[in-house]
Amino acid sequence: MEDPESDDESGGGFGGQAFSWPRLHRLRRDLGKPALIFDGDAPGELAPGGSLPLWWDARGLFARRRDDLVRCDVERGGRTLVYAPKSGSRVVDGRRVGANEAWLLTGEATDAFDRREPDAIVRVDLASGRAQGTWHAPPGVAVLDLDRIE
């Protein structure tokens, strides 16, 4: 869908290809026009660079925004930072585990276009945002997905 922002932070170009940042929308039950989810710092604002959804629960939509994990308020708009990895790393993917925990795939990244594969799993307490533990893959091994967590 076309990005409603028109400034430079809503899209760009790379390698001769134009793109726009992802924007979250909520599909209505009647399949009418999707509603934009405002994922910026405050209601009515959009996050520069967009957000990618990871999972949804009663607290809101958990998404990756730039390097961090955030929770978006789909009803009123706005977002809350849940977890920020150490400097030089980014959240790549994640899954909720139980009521208050998530496992996040993280990896090193120097900028938004750094596509190195994730090499660590971080257990995060969703209430406090604190890391509860980190597992690092052996050198040369990437962790591409969290499929089943028991």
Q: Tens digits of per-residue pLDDT, 38-54?
A: 888 888 888 877 788 89
For the chain, residues with pLDDT lower than 50 are: 1-10
Provide the residue ranges of all domains of the chain, joining segments of one domain with +.
22-136
- Report the predicted TM-score, pTM, of the whole model to 2 decimal places: 0.78
In this structure, the strands spanning 89-97 and 101-108 are antiparallel
